[in-house]
Structure 1
Amino acid sequence: MENNHSKQIEKMIKALAKSWSLESSSKWSKDNPANGQCGVTALVVNDILGGEIRKTNLSGGWHFYNFINGNLYDFTASQFGEDIVYMDIPSNRDEAFLDTNDKQYNYLKQSVLINLKL
């Protein structure tokens, strides 16, 4: 099971990297593709892999990430030039959705699902 879970996480990392764009966050750039993607990414990962959405407070505001099978996964940590202190504050889909919109969410979800199948 654990090995399969690790493979799922690896596939997700690759699918997200191929999927992030200006369509999924207005803050996206070629130099920092994870920028502004935390809320939308946490939602899509939650849809596909389950688990919980958690948050921590950073200098720029709330940062969302996933907690799956007892492990913390921050798929968008690379956007920051600072070390992240994870407060593991329970969050939810509604809060994470405040960080995105329907168009960005639907785009990222469809793109990740397509890239996961490749």
Structure 2
Amino acid sequence: MTDADKLARALEASWSLKSSTLWSEDVPAAGQCGVTALVANDVLGADILKTRYGLIWHFYNRIEGRRHDFTASQFERPVAYDDLPATREEAFADTNAAQYDYLRSTVLEALKVR
């Protein structure tokens, strides 16, 4: 199992209403893209990328040259990726400090026990 796979499992186990107000049991990745991209950047040094999805920016990562969109499951139709470089500030505009702190600490704890 790769580090990205381990991170994906930790993220999926950690997403909740505390990491996004759009979270639901049916679509746990909903609203998690910015905060997830930030945590992936923290944990694996992943590049943060963005693309337009309708009227919004969607954030995801590049890890060791490969695109990883940990939150793609939130969308009903496929994402047409532009792979535009994004900053932490841009991704943070999609979340808030409480959501980020929660997801980061929860994911780091989950990764310790795996």
Please indicate, yes or no, whether the TM-score normalized by the shorter chain is above 0.5.
Answer: yes
TM range (shorter): over 0.9
Unmatched runs of 5 consecutive residues or more in structure 1? 1-5
Q: Measure, in 2, the Cα distance between the counterparts of 1:7 and 1:117.
A: 15
Alignment of 1:53 with 2:44, yes or no, is no
Alignment of 1:71 with 2:66, yes or no, is yes
Unmatched runs of 5 consecutive residues or more in structure 2? none
Q: Measure, in 2, the Cα distance between the counterparts of 1:51 and 1:104.
A: 19
**How many residues matched?**
113
Q: Supply the AA of the counterpart residue of 1:113.
A: L
- Cα offset for 1:51? 2.6
TM-score of the superposition, structure 2-length normalised? 0.96
- Cα offset for 1:68? 1.4
Alignment of 1:112 with 2:114, yes or no, is no
SS of equivalent residue, structure 1 residue 28: coil
TM-score of the superposition, structure 1-length normalised? 0.93
Q: Supply the AA of the counterpart residue of 2:84.
A: I
Alignment of 1:28 with 2:23, yes or no, is yes
Which residue is equivalent to 1:81? Answer: 76
- Cα offset for 1:9? 1.1
Q: Supply the AA of the counterpart residue of 1:65.
A: Y
- Cα offset for 1:60? 4.2
Q: Supply the AA of the counterpart residue of 2:102.
A: Y
- Cα offset for 1:108? 0.1
CA distances 1:1-55 after superposition (whole Å, capped 9, x unpaired): xxxxx52111111100110000000000000000000000000000000031000
Identity of counterpart residues, as a percentage? 55
Alignment of 1:90 with 2:92, yes or no, is no
Q: Measure, in 2, the Cα distance between the counterparts of 1:98 and 1:15.
A: 23
SS of equivalent residue, structure 1 residue 55: strand
Q: Measure, in 1, the Cα distance between the counterparts of 2:55 and 2:6.
A: 29
Q: Measure, in 2, the Cα distance between the counterparts of 1:27 and 1:49.
A: 25
After superposing on structure 2, the runs of 4+ consecutive aligned residues of structure 1 that deviate more than 3 Å are none
